[in-house]
Chain A
Amino acid sequence: MKVMTMVQAVTDALDIKLTEDPTIVTFGEDVGVEGGVFRVTEGLQKKHGEHRVFDSPLAESGIVGSAVGMAMAGLRPVVEMQFCGFVYPAFNQIISHAARIHNRSRGRYKTPMVIRFPYGGGINALEHHSESMEILYAHIPGLKVVVPSTPYDAKGLLISAIESDDTIIFMEPKRIYRAIKQEVPEEKFTIPIGKAKVLSEGTDVTVVAYGAMIREAQKALALAKKDGISAELIDLRTIYPIDRETIAQSVKKTGRLVVVHEGPTTFGVAAEISAMVEEDVFQHLEAPVTRVTGFDTIVPLPRGEHHYIISPEKIYYGIQKSVRY
């Protein structure tokens, strides 16, 4: 075991896979010499060579599109997009090719690639540096979307993502890149994609969250506990394929559900979970599903961001609303 931040855990996962599998390359803007703007790839070029860890020209479509080509030719590229808000120029390559090559070629070609990038607010950044756009990818047939919430999960999930033969969108909550330290095994381990985790058991209400919202939800659960409310917390870990079974089982028990995410409310992950819960355990619901989610607005610049960001109190407010319904 070694105490790691999420950044270190991601670096460690990349290092292990680069060492183990010569078909893996990782590249993107500033990924090589500098080690990425968040230093996630720091030291990897020195260790694994310039042909395996490298800077690309500054062009997102070029990065993802060339990774598609590499994957078709037998490599397993892991590409970094600098920020969630910078991915958009690559959408055509992600949606039209990375998500479809296997289907289009009836399995002759596959795209075992990972597109990883930091997402989410709370870091006092410029415009386009704070959004949570997981839903855009979760909606696209052919993609899988993974969001870790801890250093341990980041390592295990990223290794699974790199080993997957499908295209994986791997979104890293940059707000907790260095905020959480945790003991993480130094050796290789994997966490299955598509499986949620019950972080704490409870009987009165189920709270589903992921990424940076897990830490906020845990604080909210502590507030609820003081007031005698027993909440069950589920970390989704993977947005798609979504683990509806774990959510359904929990709601069967508690009868109440609060879903938390940073991204906009309307047509969001919480909306989809709400529909699923209604389909699966309608008769067990004792209250409408409560969404504690972002406004349908742009994330404000730093001076206004506190209005947008979801606090533990706001999550607890949602929990109370559900429990008192």
Chain B
Amino acid sequence: MFKEFSPLEDKLFQVMDKDGEIIAPEWMPEISEERLVKAFKDMLFARTADIMAVSYQRQGRMFTYPPNFGQEAISGGMAIVMRDQDWLVPAFRELGAWLAKGASLRDIFLYFMGYEEGTVFRGANNMVPISVPIASQIVHAAGIGYAINYNKKDEVVYAVVGDGGTSEGDFAEGLNFAAVWNAPVVYIVQNNQFAISVPFKKQTRSINIAVKGIAFGVDSIKVDGNDLFAMTKAVQVAHEHAASGKGPVLIEAVTYRRGAHTTSDDPTKYRTKEEEESWACYDPIDRLRKYLVKKNLWDESKEESLISEYKKEVDRQFEAAENYAPYPLEDVFKYLYVDMPDDLKVQKVEHEKFLKWKEGLK
């Protein structure tokens, strides 16, 4: 696959076109009909949650949130292949992958409401917290991969980054370390065309991102990230490659961020309506729906009632997050060290004295 779709020739790995037609049946991944329908429903659920998250933020019930709208097939493909024991090293825009790993929507909302507890992802085995400093997690993945080899474990690391992150030094260092150490890592770049406001062509002179992997001796491929079949196949091949001791893989998933960078961002400042519309026909959910309808696997008329069910569930999870306990002072100090220095204990006690004094003011 890596040879047939060489990034050096700027080849794009695609299985399904925008009308839901299979154009490369020889690359069609093996997925049962049942699993496929589940994948579609999961993407639909993630999109429902994502749209509602933006609206909760607009209502002032949540802080900054990064929308996933238009990028759901990337998480969708990862979700099909990732196993419970595999590691997920997230960036911050892979809602579907987090949910697939076992993170609860309540926790995810908690994080964007301002609780560290939300990024612990307690239900998700081998998933590490969200990494805000761009691309720094790429290096962690190499280290986790080293530990997997060291302990001879059957695990693969999935690490995600955006197109902007590929300009960071840590992207290069992480890829290089993983390659030298033959670490079992699947690197997935969500190339959604923008790093906040900066377009891809101002980010790099490379013809694509996948070529950067080749320089490090990493098998790399550029994939249509809005094509669930292409994503799934690429991730399957990459997973097997990494798990069989052949080292890391770099997947550039080409997509388009249909929403804002975060709820604090205004895309009208740096892109046109026409451009946004030109990408709308490649929407990953619409494409997959077309395929499923043609195959009689999906009844579009039932979608509305399904979405309203999803909305109720999202609301339930959001309300559970809103009803989460207040943030105690103790939690500011408690987790910084395993063995807490006395200075911190004193600082907490001193602050409590102040609080007591403040009460007396009333």
Q: Which residues of A contact B (CB under 8 A)?
A: 25, 51, 56-57, 59, 61-62, 65-75, 77, 89, 92-93, 96-97, 101-110, 112, 141-142, 144, 164-166, 194, 240-242, 244
Q: Is B336 in contact with A141, judged by CB distance below 8 angstroms?
A: yes
Q: Is B339 in contact with A69, judged by CB distance below 8 angstroms?
A: no
Instruction: Report the bound CA distance from A71 to B147 in whole Å.
Output: 8
Please name 30 pairs of A and B residues whose Cβ atoms are closer than 8 Å in the assembled complex, sorted by A.
Answer: A57-B176, A62-B173, A62-B176, A62-B177, A65-B142, A65-B170, A65-B173, A66-B139, A66-B142, A67-B143, A68-B143, A70-B143, A70-B144, A70-B150, A72-B143, A73-B143, A74-B147, A74-B151, A96-B132, A96-B133, A97-B133, A97-B136, A102-B335, A110-B338, A112-B338, A144-B337, A144-B341, A166-B337, A166-B339, A194-B341
B120 within 8 A of A: yes
Q: Is B139 in contact with A165, judged by CB distance below 8 angstroms?
A: no
Interfacial chain B residues near A141, Cβ < 8 Å:
336
Instruction: Report the bound CA distance from A104 to B119 in whole Å.
Output: 7
Nearest residue (CB) in A for B155 is A73
Instruction: Report the bound CA distance from A214 to B334 in whole Å.
Output: 35
Interfacial chain B residues near A103, Cβ < 8 Å:
116, 335-336
Instruction: Report the bound CA distance from A241 to B343 in whole Å.
Output: 7
Q: Is B142 in contact with A62, judged by CB distance below 8 angstroms?
A: yes
Interfacial chain A residues near B341, Cβ < 8 Å:
144, 194, 240-241
Nearest residue (CB) in A for B342 is A241
Interfacial chain A residues near B307, Cβ < 8 Å:
none
Q: Is B116 in contact with A106, judged by CB distance below 8 angstroms?
A: yes
Instruction: Report the bound CA distance from A122 to B115 in whole Å.
Output: 48
Within 8 Å by CB of A57, from B119, B150, B177, B337, lies: B177
Instruction: Report the bound CA distance from A166 to B169 in whole Å.
Output: 26
Which residues in chain B, 329-357, are within 8 Å of chain A measured between CB atoms? 331, 334-339, 341-343
Interfacial chain A residues near B150, Cβ < 8 Å:
25, 51, 70, 75
Q: Is B116 in contact with A69, judged by CB distance below 8 angstroms?
A: no
Q: Is B173 in contact with A69, judged by CB distance below 8 angstroms?
A: no
Which residues in chain B, 84-119, are within 8 Å of chain A measured between CB atoms? 87, 89, 116-117, 119
B293 within 8 A of A: no
Known A62-B139, A69-B144; judge A92-B335 contact (CB<8 A): no
B238 within 8 A of A: no
Instruction: Report the bound CA distance from A189 to B129 in whole Å.
Output: 36
B174 within 8 A of A: yes
Q: Is B174 in contact with A65, judged by CB distance below 8 angstroms?
A: yes
Interfacial chain B residues near A165, Cβ < 8 Å:
338-339
Instruction: Report the bound CA distance from A72 to B157 in whole Å.
Output: 12
B146 within 8 A of A: yes
- A86 CB to nearest chain B CB (Å): 14
B140 within 8 A of A: yes
Instruction: Report the bound CA distance from A247 to B305 in whole Å.
Output: 71
Known A57-B180, A242-B343; judge A101-B129 contact (CB<8 A): yes
Nearest residue (CB) in A for B128 is A72
Q: Is A69 in contact with B176, judged by CB distance below 8 angstroms?
A: no
Instruction: Report the bound CA distance from A118 to B151 in whole Å.
Output: 31
B122 within 8 A of A: yes
Interfacial chain B residues near A51, Cβ < 8 Å:
150
B28 within 8 A of A: no
Known A108-B120, A165-B339, A240-B341; judge A59-B176 contact (CB<8 A): yes
Q: Is B140 in contact with A69, judged by CB distance below 8 angstroms?
A: yes
- B127 CB to nearest chain A CB (Å): 10
Q: Is B176 in contact with A93, judged by CB distance below 8 angstroms?
A: no
Within 8 Å by CB of A56, from B116, B174, B177, lies: B177
Q: Is B338 in contact with A105, judged by CB distance below 8 angstroms?
A: no
